[in-house]
């Protein structure tokens, strides 16, 4: 599962970081490694008014388990493959 990276709640999404991204960093280097150095910069997003079918197709096409949900250019939530709603 990935989590959005933002400077603040109202700033643009800069990337997504997943537990697996952090795991690739040697344990001895994790305390000094910056999030921006391990985050994925490609953001797969969908508009809040899109239908669930379109969301699932976008997830399948991009081989991701979550989508950043956008509303008026702001992040509104995250749509997860394991649910039919976003949070």
For the chain, the distance separating the N- and C-terminal CA atoms, rounded to the nearest angstrom, is: 13
Question: Could you state, in order of their start, the residue ranges of all structural domains in the chain?
Answer: 2-80
Among 29-38, 49-58, 64-73, 76-85, the range scoring the smallest mean pLDDT is 76-85
What's the pTM value of the predicted model, to 2 decimals?
A: 0.76
pLDDT computed for residue 21 by the predictor:
93
- The residue with tokens 């910056």 is 34
Four-way CATH pick for 2-80: 3.10.580.10, 3.40.50.300, 3.40.50.1260, 3.20.10.10 = 3.10.580.10
**Sequence-ordered list of residues with C-beta below 8 angstroms from that of 83, at least 6 positions apart, any chain:** none
Could you tell me the two tokens for 10?
Answer: 């109202």
Is the per-residue pLDDT at 39 higher than 90?
A: yes
Name all contacts of 16-25 with Cβ < 8 Å and 24+ positions apart: 16/40, 16/43, 16/68
Is the per-residue pLDDT at 81 higher than 90?
A: no
């Amino acid at each position: 599962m990935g989590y959005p990276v933002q400077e603040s709640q109202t700033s643009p999404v800069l990337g997504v970081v997943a537990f697996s991204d952090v795991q690739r960093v040697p344990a001895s280097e994790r305390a000094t490694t910056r999030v921006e150095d391990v985050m994925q910069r490609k953001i797969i997003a969908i508009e809040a008014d899109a239908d669930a079918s379109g969301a699932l197709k976008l997830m399948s096409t991009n081989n991701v388990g979550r989508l950043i949900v956008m509303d008026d250019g702001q992040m509104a939530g995250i749509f997860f493959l394991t649910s039919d709603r976003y949070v």
